[in-house]
């Protein structure tokens, strides 16, 4: 089991390494200058000394927690209807990071489109914030409200109701979302 996980990790790291090396070569070719600094090290295929497996629950992973440091756990994801507070989608993952968990949730929501209405807005905390996620939501004809960072609490009413100015010209989905989150309407939607 440890060997299988090590092989899967190696394949993923090898793909990332090859992508970084290709980007590096493309930049050197484009600029005509050699990139300074150390070259990325290629990944090693074998299990590492600290690799572990849980024989009781091999699908769970050791994940960092805010309270205890580390815990054998899953990363649970759910999509909740903001009006009824009904959980409409849920899944577990082994990933400690939420950034890659929005797309599987959206895929499941798409599969439920006949049973429930198509969502108009997707609201999520800053663990889901990325350009890819903002674009993915916009491509699916929904409006993303993904927090861009820690939100300031207890803003003065005039700051909360202030307008951010005109939207950017020809914005990317991420720039459009960042602007929208500064509008009073965007703050209201995200605040719910």
Residues linked to residue 91 through DSSP beta bridges, in sequence order: 77
pLDDT in tens, 44-93: 988 888 887 777 887 888 888 888 788 888 999 999 999 899 999 999 99
pLDDT at 151: 66
- Which has the closest alpha carbon to 22: 39, 8, 37, 5? 39
pLDDT at 192: 83
Give the angle subtended at the CA of 63 by the CAs of 74 and 110, to the nearest 5°. 40
pLDDT in tens, 117-164: 788 999 999 899 999 999 999 999 999 999 988 767 777 877 777 788
Instruction: Identify the architecture of domain 75-191 in CATH.
Output: 2-Layer Sandwich (3.30)
- pTM value surpassing 0.85: no
185 vs 67: which has the higher pLDDT: 185
pLDDT at 110: 87
pLDDT at 136: 94
pLDDT at 5: 81
Which element (helix H / strand E) includes 164? none
pLDDT at 71: 86
The domains of the chain are located at: 2-46, 75-191
Token representation of residue 79: 């999509």
Residues linked to residue 73 through DSSP beta bridges, in sequence order: 61
pLDDT at 13: 93
pLDDT at 78: 93
Q: Hey, is 48 helix, strand or coil?
A: coil
């Amino acid at each position: 089991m440890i060997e299988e996980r090590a092989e899967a990790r190696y394949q993923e790291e090898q793909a990332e390494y090859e992508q970084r090396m290709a980007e590096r070569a493309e930049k050197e070719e484009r600029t005509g200058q050699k990139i300074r600094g150390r070259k990325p090290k290629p990944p090693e295929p074998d299990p590492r000394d600290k690799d572990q497996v849980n024989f009781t629950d091999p699908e769970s992973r050791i994940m960092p927690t805010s309270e205890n440091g580390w815990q054998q756990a899953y990363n649970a994801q759910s999509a909740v209807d903001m009006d009824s507070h009904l959980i409409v989608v849920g899944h577990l993952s082994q990933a400690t990071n939420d950034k890659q968990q929005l797309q599987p949730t959206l895929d499941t929501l798409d599969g439920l489109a006949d049973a429930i209405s198509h969502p108009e807005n997707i609201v999520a905390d800053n663990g889901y914030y990325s350009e890819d996620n903002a674009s993915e939501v916009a491509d699916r004809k929904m409006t993303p409200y993904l927090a861009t960072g820690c939100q300031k609490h207890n803003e003065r009413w005039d700051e909360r109701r202030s307008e951010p100015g005109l939207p950017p010209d020809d914005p990317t989905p991420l720039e459009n979302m960042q602007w929208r989150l500064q509008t009073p309407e965007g703050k209201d939607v995200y605040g719910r």
